[in-house]
């Protein structure tokens, strides 16, 4: 086949491939797939050019199987798919691949453009943008914390992408805390510490570690990270960290690390309000090429309050139902799809699940909670249990009081008021309570 023929052949099957993906794998299809350009189809290989290195890496790792399946189904031949990208960005692509190896891949979805700002994340978003504009020169380190599913990883990745967009030879290492720990331990075992230090101290302009709270209890990794941190910091290399809690609440974290983390900008993301959730749903749907009507958007946003990841799950569900309903994205479809998604405020859990979560969180025993002990380390978890029991179960004040050590209903009322008050005025406490609730709902969902 001549070059021209192979180009034409590639182009002729491309549209069918996109249609196939839309039908078979719609939750994974993104609007930017339309920016992919088929280039050539020869010798059992379809070559597709991507607009950026990040897109290339993403499709090559996350979507190769489904593209292969699609091209084979469309052509009826054994064909595989190869993804390339434009020349200038290719260097960045190789370098990223080199650094990540089996590490996290940056997702083209996680860009600043695709991040919706509202009152609860504006500050974190602005800080990330400032850092992306002038890495190492504004806030260093930048520390973002907040409950799961509120966009920390998204912001970190958007920052990396923006840094690369501005200067594509920046040496970024972006990895999860787990990978950092594993890499460290492997190097300790194989005696490659020299190489480890060389990578993290000398060969990086921007070090980004996601979920740094996993350093908890890893003493030797903490020690190593402390020196990594200092070396980078002294050379004005940018450090960006995320965590599910503020530095001083990460358990078993060395004081000197806490003070290092606090020395730059510490900013928090919180649960988005209803309007922001609506904007996020709209944006996420558009990314998948769907235009949702306003009433459907509002329906989804009202079903999910605390975790944006669940909003996406809801959209996926609706996509599935819409396929069955002839592609209609109306309120009926949304209602059907989300029927079993009770709004979080109405979700019920068992008293045992509450006890499991609270005792694990505060490291106390049920027998303590049921005892007469009045030490603060016991009364607080006891009051949290009572509060959650009243919020999330149907037990009466008397029943709850009786269960927690034969206390009367006024004690329970007092506990509920106290926790409500603390939740309102003490953001640190509110954060903790959110985390307990989140794991409680997760446990309840698992056992349901």
What is the binding site for ligand ADP (CB under 6 A)? Answer: 110, 114-116, 121, 148-154, 280, 283, 308-309, 312
Query: How many Å apart are CA 205 and CA 50, to the nearest integer?
Result: 26
Shortest Å distance, C-beta 302 to ligand ADP: 17
For residue 153, state whether it binds Mg ion (rule: CB under 5 A).
yes
Name the residue number minimizing CB distance to Mg ion: 153
* Residue 151 near which of Mg ion, ligand ADP, none (CB within 5-8 Å, type-dependent): ligand ADP
The strand pairing partners of 241, in sequence order, are: 143, 209
* Residue 220 near which of Mg ion, ligand ADP, none (CB within 5-8 Å, type-dependent): none
Find all residues with CB under 8 Å of 84, minimum gap 6, and list them: 39, 47, 48, 49, 50, 56, 90
* H runs (alpha helix) in 76-176: 87-100, 122-133, 152-166
Find all residues with CB under 8 Å of 253, minimum gap 6, and list them: 213, 215, 216, 222, 247
Q: Which of 20, 115 has the CB closer to ligand ADP?
A: 115
Query: How many Å apart are CA 346 and CA 332, to the nearest integer?
Result: 21
Q: Which of 173, 318 has the CB closer to Mg ion?
A: 173
Shortest Å distance, C-beta 212 to ligand ADP: 12
Shortest Å distance, C-beta 56 to ligand ADP: 20
* Residue 412 near which of ligand ADP, Mg ion, none (CB within 5-8 Å, type-dependent): none
Count, residues near Mg ion per rule CB under 5 A: 2
Under 8 Å between Cβ of 118 and 275: yes
Shortest Å distance, C-beta 265 to ligand ADP: 17
- H/E element holding 82? strand 80-85
- Give the footprint of Mg ion on residues 358-397 (CB under 5 A): none
* Residue 309 near which of ligand ADP, Mg ion, none (CB within 5-8 Å, type-dependent): ligand ADP
Closest CA to 52 of 27, 88, 80: 88
Shortest Å distance, C-beta 283 to ligand ADP: 6
Q: Which residues bind Mg ion (CB under 5 A)?
A: 152-153
């Amino acid at each position: 086949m001549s070059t021209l023929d192979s180009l034409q052949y590639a182009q002729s099957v491309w549209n069918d491939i996109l249609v196939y993906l839309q039908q078979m794998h719609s939750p994974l299809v993104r609007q930017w797939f339309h920016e992919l350009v088929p280039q050539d189809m020869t010798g059992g290989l379809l070559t597709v050019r991507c607009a950026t290195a990040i897109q290339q890496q993403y499709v090559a790792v996350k979507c190769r199987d489904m593209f292969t399946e699609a091209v084979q189904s469309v052509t009826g031949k054994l064909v595989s798919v190869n993804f390339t990208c434009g020349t200038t960005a290719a260097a960045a692509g190789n370098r990223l691949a080199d650094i990540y190896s089996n590490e996290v891949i940056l997702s083209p979805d996680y860009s600043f453009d695709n991040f919706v700002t509202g009152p609860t994340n504006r500050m974190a978003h602005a800080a990330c943008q400032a850092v992306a504009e002038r890495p190492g020169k504004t806030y260093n380190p930048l520390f973002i914390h907040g409950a799961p599913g509120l966009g920390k990883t998204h912001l970190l990745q958007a920052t990396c992408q923006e840094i690369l967009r501005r200067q594509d030879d920046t040496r970024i290492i972006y990895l999860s805390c787990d990978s950092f720990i594993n890499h460290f331990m492997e190097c300790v075992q194989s005696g490659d510490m020299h190489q480890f230090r060389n990578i993290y101290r000398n060969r990086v302009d921007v070090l980004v570690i996601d979920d740094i709270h996993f350093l908890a209890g890893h003493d030797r990794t903490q020690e190593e990270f402390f020196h990594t941190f200092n070396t980078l910091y002294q050379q004005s290399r940018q450090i960006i960290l995320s965590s599910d809690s503020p530095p001083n609440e990460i358990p078993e974290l060395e004081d000197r690390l806490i003070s290092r983390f606090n020395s730059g900008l510490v900013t928090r993301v919180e649960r988005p309000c209803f309007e922001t959730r609506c904007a996020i749903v709209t944006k996420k749907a558009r990314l998948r090429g769907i235009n949702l009507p306003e009433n459907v958007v509002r329906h989804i946003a009202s079903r999910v309050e605390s975790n944006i990841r669940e909003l996406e799950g809801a959209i996926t569900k609706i996509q599935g139902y819409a396929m069955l309903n002839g592609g209609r994205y109306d309120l009926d479809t949304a209602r059907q799809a989300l029927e079993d998604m009770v709004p979080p405020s109405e979700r019920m859990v068992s008293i045992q699940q509450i006890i499991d979560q609270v005792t694990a969180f505060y490291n106390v025993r049920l027998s303590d909670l049921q005892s007469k002990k009045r030490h603060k380390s016991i009364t607080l978890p006891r009051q949290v249990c009572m509060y959650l029991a009243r919020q999330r179960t149907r037990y009466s004040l008397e029943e709850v009081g009786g269960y927690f050590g034969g206390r009367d209903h006024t004690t329970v009322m007092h506990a509920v008021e106290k926790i409500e008050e603390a939740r309102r005025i003490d953001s640190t406490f509110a954060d903790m309570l959110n985390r307990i609730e989140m794991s409680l709902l997760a446990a309840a969902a698992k056992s349901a």
